Amino acid sequence: GESVGLHLPTLSVQEGDNSIINCAYSNSASDYFIWYKQESGKGPQFIIDIRSNMDKRQGQRVTVLLNKTVKHLSLQIAATQPGDSAVYFCADTGRRALTFGSGTRLQVQP
């Protein structure tokens, strides 16, 4: 079952460094994955997505890697900025509904 009062793992990085946020998923049928960023009091904001027929996709300052063998996703953020501070969620779907991971809080130190 779900845990109440989930404690988010935290990643603290220095401004300008690269960040890597990891996510594991469990549904082998998932064929579409999305990374979202959520700032306090706001809704999830789309960052980048990837389909299961790919293992890497790049956006502006972000790269998503997908390893279907071990059901693992990572989000790499290059040259992390203070504005990148937020909670990052991965989400996967095999049909329509997104299943969200528990999230990682990224803290960027100036």
Partner 1 sequence: EPEVTQTPSHQVTQMGQEVILRCVPISNHLYFYWYRQILGQKVEFLVSFYNNEISEKSEIFDDQFSVERPDGSNFTLKIRSTKLEDSAMYFCASSEPDYGYTFGSGTRLTVV
- Residues of this chain that interact with partner 1 (CB under 8 A) are 2, 4-6, 32, 34, 36, 38, 41-46, 49, 89, 91, 95-103
Query: Least Å distance between CB 42 and partner 1?
Result: 6
Interstrand relation of 104-109 and 86-93 (parallel, antiparallel or unpaired): antiparallel
Query: Least Å distance between CB 43 and partner 1?
Result: 4
Contact 90, 35 (CB under 8 A): yes
Name the residue nearer to partner 1 (CB basis): 2 or 69.
Answer: 2
Name the residue nearer to partner 1 (CB basis): 67 or 99.
Answer: 99
